[in-house]
Amino acid sequence: MRSLSCYRQAAVLFFLATLWSCAGAVGRQSATGPPGSIFGLYNNGQDSVRVTPAEKGGVSVVLQLYYASGNTCGLEKEGAWEHDHVSIVAEALEANQQCKLQLFFPKGHVLLKDEGGRCTQVYCGAHGQLDGVKLPKSRALPK
């Protein structure tokens, strides 16, 4: 009977240690930080995304996109580097949801991903959108 109790305690401790380990990995910044190559100005005409280093290893993002009829998207937020992209989490229109904007950097470009369009609802006019916007890098940051 005593060994069964010890077995249960060990199983509970193992479960809690596994849960704690997994919870700590979710949303954590990459230990290596963002590569310097992502920083700079990405633009195509008037549309622009500026990516710069922020304090404590974060990444600052300033974007301005222009659409028909004077509609725009504008955002100035700090995000975190997560393995292969910058992730920005902000408030959405719905209190129980979050805007999650991701910036990927394929071959000299920035590519925006706004799953569910929650960031677009907050940061864009009626005809603007963030998801799928891809701009070429026009200038690296001076060293």
Q: Give me the domain span that covers residue 119.
A: 36-140
125 belongs to a structural domain: yes
pLDDT band at 62 (very low <50, low <70, confident <90, very high): very high
Q: Is residue 62 part of a domain?
A: yes
- Percent over 90 (pLDDT), the chain: 62
- Considering its fold, how many domains does the chain have in total? 1
pLDDT tens track for 9-52: 444 444 433 333 333 334 444 567 899 999 999 999 999 999 99
Note the pTM of the prediction, 2 decimals. 0.76
Please report whether residue 49 resides in a domain.
yes
Residue 52 lies in a domain: yes
Residue 28 lies in a domain: no
Q: Is residue 112 included in any domain, yes or no?
A: yes
Is residue 69, in this structure, part of any structural domain at all?
yes
Q: Following DSSP, what letter does each residue of the chain receive, concatenated?
A: -HHHHHHHHHHHHHHHHHHHHHHHHTTPPPTT---GGG-EEEEETTEEEEEEE-GGG-EEEEEEEE-GGG-EEEEEEEEEEETTEEEEEEE-SSTT-EEEEEEE--TTEEEEEEGGGHHHHHHB-TT---TT-EEEEEEEPP-
Q: Is residue 104 part of a domain?
A: yes
